[in-house]
Amino acid sequence: MGIKIYKPTSAGRRNSSVNTHEEVTRKAPEKSLLAPMHKTGGRNNQGFTTSRFRGGGNKRMYRIIDFRRDKDGLEGTVASVEYDPNRSCHIALVHYTDGEKRYILAPLGLKVGQKIYSGENAEPRLGNCLPLNKIPTGLEVHNVEMTPGQGGKLVRTAGGVARLAAKEGKWAHLVLPSGELRMVDADCRATIGQLGNLDHANVRVGKAGRSRHRGRRPHVRGTAQNPVSHPLGGGEGRSHGGRHPCSPTGKLAKGGRTRNRRKTSNKLILRRRRSVRYGIVSLPS
């Protein structure tokens, strides 16, 4: 039972639920792997708000995560599974035989005391990290690199899992959680298994106070503001804005392209995650 629902003793408690984090085995983090985090409050270096509705929240310490998994040939022992306030999935503390300690993303089913390995000679078992060209087709992976040696970039959220669909020459075909089918360099590394904390998506915040604890300030609709504050504001009674959705500065909010044309990887995408202009792209079963 990963989600706990309390008796409705108040209006906020009635509609909220909490994650019990049953997989977590240790509360205090490893001090040697902590780093301070600076909060911006949504402001840039000149003090102007560039990201609205941010500010406040509980103070966090950053957990230094080993996304590269480059301790090749060394045996690692899972010492604990911990909660990380900076990401949705859990993390695992690993003790290596040379005395070094590192945090990794904890896959589903990882147990304390389990042995994990990295490198080309590692077996394709849960928690092990190895290149895609050494992983059998059809296995589920996470924490996938996009450039060899860069560190995992894809599939890092709670419950995230990608499937190795095929291998063709120097490329590996991956089915991502969004349904997108894309090619990745076969020398890129990935970790075997599905990420844990599946109940993260089922938690209901329930009240505004819990959003404030996360550093999210109230999100005010443009139509609810005065015309001097927002292009959609004003009007007699409740209005629909009278124009397309936009920001307080008038920048359109819908339909704009967000991909950088100079850094795009469109040629590596074999199947889009959603419909395209001239037809619907079928998603994998």
pLDDT along the chain (285 residues), means of 10: 89 94 96 96 95 95 97 96 97 97 97 96 96 97 96 97 96 96 97 96 95 96 95 94 93 87 86 64 45
The hierarchical CATH code for the domain 3-199+260-271 is: 2.40.50.140
Which sequence spans correspond to the domains of the chain? 3-199+260-271
* Entry pTM: 0.90
Query: Residue 148 carries which side chain, given as an amino acid letter?
Result: P
Long-range contacts of 2-8 (CB under 8 A, 24+ apart): 2/198, 2/199, 2/202, 3/199, 3/202, 3/203
pLDDT value at position 283?
A: 43
Q: How far is CA 90 from CA 9, 160, 191, in A?
A: 30, 12, 15
